[in-house]
Amino acid sequence: MDRLIFTAMTGAKHLLERQAVTANNLANATTGGYRAETRATRAAYVVSDTLPTRAYAVESTPGADFNPGALEATGRTFDVAVQGKGWIAVEAPGGGEAYTRNGSLQVNENRVLQTRTGLNVLGESGPITIPEDTEITIGADGTISTVPTNNIRTSVSPIGRVKLVNPDEALLERGADGLFRLRDGSTAEADANVRLASGYLEASNVNVAEAMVDMIAIARQFEMQMKLMQTADADARQAAQLLAVSR
């Protein structure tokens, strides 16, 4: 196989992978608390007994951009945003504990506190149940307090506390469901220093303008790789014709 074709083909393949990451970030530009995926190029060594020093570059997505997004005021009681570093612990779809920055919450038909996507919010001892005929407030430390909605509104009762964690970001990995988990499968300890802002939501940290520029640059680079493959094909055809004439 002509080495130019191989080089152009692998370059186009990695550009498609980079484009998929960028497109996914753009698709989540309005997803609350979303953390943009990051890209990197790493060296991959060729397994060979005769050429052990050869290597080529591959595209990879090693992690996420953990810079916080902007806080947007909603005024809604069930909306909370993590201020600074930290995460809200939720029950993952397949069981276990996972972490999110999307603090748009709701109460389901069973009076269990959940995210808007239907994940149970975890407290100090599991999911949090909200009593009927009560209004709630969520404090900066995650404490949930209730006030009866009847005529007697003098009693305020704390019923639980949202589990807030702040593990080392290097230990976190993003799952296919968009939630973050500890790489070793363990659960993070609650951190009393993590604070919430009630009535706010955190926006995605995706820079739309930067992502659009990346998409255009990737498209142009992909076109260049395609032209290289066409050039290699044309050269191969010309060489075949010359060989045929010389016979």
Domain ranges of the chain: 3-66+206-246, 71-202
What type of residue is 21?
Answer: V
pLDDT at 35: 93
- pLDDT at residue 14, as a whole number: 85
Based on C-alpha coordinates, what's the Rg of the chain? 26
Which of 5-9, 23-27, 43-47, 159-163 is predicted with the least confidence, judged by mean pLDDT? Answer: 43-47
pLDDT digits (tens, 9 = 90+) for 79-131: 999 999 999 999 998 889 999 999 999 999 999 999 999 999 999 889 999 99
Q: What is residue 237's predicted lDDT score, i.e. its pLDDT?
A: 84
Least confident of 8-22, 35-49, 195-209: 35-49
Question: pLDDT category, 148, cuts 50, 70, 90?
Answer: confident
Whole-prediction pTM: 0.80
Please give the pLDDT value at position 55: 55
Average pLDDT over residues 53-67: 70
Position 49 scores a pLDDT of 64
Range from 48-52, 140-144, 160-164 carrying the lowest mean pLDDT: 48-52
Structure tokens at 226: 């395609």
Q: Is the pLDDT reported for residue 188 higher than 90?
A: yes
pLDDT band at 60 (very low <50, low <70, confident <90, very high): low
Rounded mean pLDDT, 46-72: 72
Mean pLDDT of the chain: 87
On the 0-12 / 13-18 / 19+ scale of CB atoms within 10 A, 66 is middle
Per-residue three-class SS string for the chain: CCHHHHHHHHHHHHHHHHHHHHHHHHHCCCCCCCCCEEEEEEEEECCCCCCCCCEEEEEEEEEECCCCCCEEECCCCCEEEEECCCEEEEECCCCCEEEECCCEEEECCCCEEEECCCCEEEECCEECECCCCEEEEECCCCEEEEEECCCCCCCCEEEEECCEECCCHHHEEECCCCCEEECCCCCCCECCCCEEEECEEECCCCCHHHHHHHHHHHHHHHHHHHHHHHHHHHHHHHHHHHHHHHC
What the block records as the tokens of 136 is 């709630």
pLDDT given for residue 12 in this prediction? 87
Is the pLDDT at 1 greater than 60? The verdict is no
Query: Which of 30, 99, 103 lies closest to 66 in space, CA to CA?
Result: 99
Which of 2-11, 84-93, 110-119, 197-206 has the lowest average pLDDT? Answer: 2-11
With CA atoms as reference, report the closest residue to 37 among 67, 72, 13.
Answer: 67
